[in-house]
Structure 1
Amino acid sequence: MSNEKIDRWLINSLMDIDFYKITMLQAFYHAAEFRLVNVQWKFACRNKEGLDLTPLIPEIQKQLEHICTLSFSEQELDYLAKLSFIKPDFIEFLRIFKLNMKFIHLHCDGENINLRFDGPLLHVSLFEIYALSIISELHTYINCGGFDLFVAREKLASKIALLKAEGDLTGFNFIDFGTRRRASKDWQEEVLKTLKTQLPDSFLGTSSVHFARTLGLPAVGTMAHEWFQSWQAVTRLADAQIAALEGWVREYRGRLGIALTDCYSMDSFIRDFSDPYFGKLYDGLRHDSGCPFVWGEKAIALYQKMEIDPLNKTLVFSDSLDFPRMIEIWKRFRGRIKVSFGIGTNLMNDVGNVPLSIVIKMISVNGKPVAKISDEPGKSMCEDLGYLQYLASQYGIDPSIVRISK
């Protein structure tokens, strides 16, 4: 444990967030189903090293209090307003938007941080990424005492060299998904500048709205699990996945068309997505759990069954990637379907320290439990095993194999 003190604010802009938080917030804002919805989110650390994060609590509290003083600037709103799918009424909502500490509950629970956000969906959803970024950077500087910039740069250089050694990288591209688990904001900025210069044809952009704006990069992102989970509480449970897919189409009319497949498992997604209506409207699918090769083969078969040429669609892989893994997946599917990658921790927190594996997940809507099951049991997060098992039964999954992940 370092004695280093944090004498700066880690988040200075509400745009320092993943792009899909903005796109989902607009969809929630326009959907009548979510006007009066209250939600609860819960923090979890998946590291198995027995890390004690509780000494970070006072600084986490201070940093969260600071983000509750922030507003979107006119320059930031102008940037968002120029995006064709961001609507004027949502810009006006963001103009008066402010986070509120009364929705945050933070205390020590043994060696664990008990952090929850509880309040109106529209006013607590954005806390997720800010809090994760704060905790990750505090871990870097307080728990780890910072990092050796030379080591970090060498590691980044080796990744770039690995890609360049492949020679022809036609069809290979990747996106920065690392905001939530970055070693630091400054390091993320350096990495993005380096990639923009060194890999201009392969590096497509970033999920960080702030750095997309300030560095002239494309902002990339569509939807996350919270979009699918929220629908569990406002429609018939067995129809929640279809309702989420239709709700997204209603908002974006074919834009931002990469669908996440693993809220309930890929097999149940195939069941609900097999209508060519969805197959033609959505540009592709995103993988976030389970074997990427099995998943990719299922995705190609799904498009072929719908008589859609897979070469016109894109598979986005974003589950625990590193550069060798991305190359392996790309070689498996190139020439059969378009492939892209969203890489997070290995890109933005491979600096010589043990990075945190942390998440904040929605666990209830209007007092009712919600959950994701995924294609990997360890990624499920719910506080009600009975509900999780019932949810599994509604989506053709054996209830006996699901378990609550702490």
Structure 2
Amino acid sequence: MNTQPMPVGQAPDAFVPVVTSLLGTDLYKFTMLQPMLHSMPANLAEYRFVCRNTPAYPLCEIRDEVERQIEHLCSLQFTEDELQYLGGLRYLKSDFIDFLRIFRLQHRYITVAVDGDDLSIVAKGPQIHVMLFEIFVLAIVNEVYFRRFATPQALAEGRKRLSQKVAQLRDFGARGQQRQHPFEFFDFGVRRRFSATWQDEVVATFAREVPEFFKGTSNVYLAKKYGIVPIGTMAHEYLQTFQATGVQLKGFQKAALENWVQEYRGDLGVALTDVVGMDAFLADFDLYFAKLFDGLRHDSGDPVLWGEKALAHYTRLKVNAHTKRLVFSDGLDIPAALGLYEHFADRIQTGFGIGTNLSNDMGLAPLNIVMKLVSCNGQPVAKLSDSPGKTICDDETFLAYLRQVFRIGT
């Protein structure tokens, strides 16, 4: 196991950086940034931090350290070795790599303040310059917050639970319950991880102990380090951006998917479905897109109901579901992933992106934090989730209009 020490017992003034490489983010930040650079480089955007649950102590107490970490983050640049790795991914183009060569996150585009007991973090400016803040800010807040709990006991509990996960997977393999398509899972744990060191240990452990099931990570730095596949395509912000880029609102999903198809020409073919709900997505996901995209990603609502709707849609379009994939990524753990696999894997390929339960299962209550796009080009944007509590929008008038356009709740 990785034995790099946890930041336990550090002197109060000792600075230990959370982020040490700009590769240490989710792959989809790069795969979304490239089409935005090519198609809409002048977009202006605002991203806002939100904590959805009650932390064990007020987040305002870590404001100064978060600020120090962001200052350090803004000093980083991609190394030539990192750029060479990114350039080896066939879907990333040479002009995009050249952009990254001169790229630095700009401190002037982000503010960290205190709002009562809460943290207020806002990134606002050119979208191609502020969108990469999201994952780094979430990783910083998480690690700084959990440093107070980084005890030998917490690490021992995390290792015990990690061993149990490995045992669950080995038991599954020993039972020989493979369906028509194989079971595959991925680490999606950057944003809510206990620490960078702990995520590294988790990924290294799964890659070593159960490589037949563990097929990649969203963390590009760790994918490079361990020679495994970086995983990711698009997030909500990509589709939401098209709500404010001049297309008719009712056509924003089609515009976003078409832009993706033209950018990647067959690569990165998993589409996210829940920006305005699965039903509204499928109404736009016609035969053209169903044939061009390799599959769909679930991130809210009942996963079984969602998967059955996807299968029924492919059947209506006379598309062979065995050639497609359903990727589940909403609050999963290993048993839930195996249960969904057993339900679907004789009918369609599956994949499972597991986040917090892999990278922050230490016997401590995780933070439920997000940093979401709230406006673009001076206009509000929204996510109408299939799960209560996940809907995000600052403008109730726009939210009502979006519901009306897509006939949601009528």
- Decide: shared fold, TM above 0.5: yes
Deviations 1:360-394 (A, max 9, x none): 00000011100110211310111111111111111
Write the mapping of 1:377-388 to structure 2, written as runs, cut at 5 A. Answer: 377-388=388-399
Q: Are residue 323 (structure 1) and residue 334 (structure 2) matched?
A: yes
The corresponding residue for 2:210 is: 199
Alpha-carbon shift at residue 77 of structure 1 (Å) = 0.4
The corresponding residue for 2:161 is: 155
Deviations 1:141-190 (A, max 9, x none): 03666762221111001111112222225311100000111101111111
Q: Are residue 132 (structure 1) and residue 147 (structure 2) matched?
A: no
The corresponding residue for 1:249 is: 261
TM-score by length of 1: 0.95
Which of 215, 236, 241 is the equivalent residue of 2:248?
Answer: 236
CA distance in 2, matches of 1:30, 1:62: 32
Alpha-carbon shift at residue 51 of structure 1 (Å) = 4.5
CA distance in 2, matches of 1:84, 1:169: 35
CA distance in 1, matches of 2:394, 2:63: 23
Which of 388, 395, 405 is the equivalent residue of 2:406?
Answer: 395
SS of 1:383's partner is: coil
The corresponding residue for 1:57 is: 63
Q: Are residue 180 (structure 1) and residue 188 (structure 2) matched?
A: no
CA distance in 1, matches of 2:197, 2:151: 16
The corresponding residue for 1:89 is: 95
The corresponding residue for 2:27 is: 19
**Counterpart code for 2:291:** K
Distance change >3 Å, CA 8–CA 281, structure 1 → 2 = same
CA distance in 2, matches of 1:191, 1:208: 12
The corresponding residue for 2:355 is: 344
| More off after superposition, 225-234 vs 45-54 | 45-54
Distance change >3 Å, CA 337–CA 276, structure 1 → 2 = same
CA distance in 2, matches of 1:357, 1:180: 10
CA distance in 2, matches of 1:91, 1:111: 41
Q: Are residue 72 (structure 1) and residue 70 (structure 2) matched?
A: no
The corresponding residue for 2:386 is: 375
Distance change >3 Å, CA 49–CA 66, structure 1 → 2 = closer
Question: Would the aligned equivalents of 1:172 and 1:340 in 2 still touch at CA under 8 Å?
Answer: yes
Write the mapping of 1:175-324 to structure 2, written as runs, cut at 5 A. Answer: 175-234=186-245, 235-273=247-285, 275-324=286-335
Question: Would the aligned equivalents of 2:55 and 2:367 in 1 still touch at CA under 8 Å?
Answer: no
Question: Would the aligned equivalents of 2:270 and 2:294 in 1 still touch at CA under 8 Å?
Answer: yes
* Structure 2 unaligned blocks of 5 or more: 1-7
Question: Would the aligned equivalents of 1:140 and 1:353 in 2 still touch at CA under 8 Å?
Answer: no
Question: Would the aligned equivalents of 1:3 and 1:142 in 2 still touch at CA under 8 Å?
Answer: no
CA distance in 2, matches of 1:244, 1:161: 41
CA distance in 1, matches of 2:162, 2:237: 32
Which of 151, 168, 175 is the equivalent residue of 2:176?
Answer: 168
**Counterpart code for 1:90:** F
Question: Would the aligned equivalents of 1:175 and 1:205 in 2 still touch at CA under 8 Å?
Answer: yes
Q: Number of residues paired by the alignment?
A: 395
* Structure 1 unaligned blocks of 5 or more: 400-406
Question: Would the aligned equivalents of 1:40 and 1:117 in 2 still touch at CA under 8 Å?
Answer: yes
CA distance in 2, matches of 1:352, 1:105: 32
% identical equivalent positions: 45
Alpha-carbon shift at residue 83 of structure 1 (Å) = 1.1
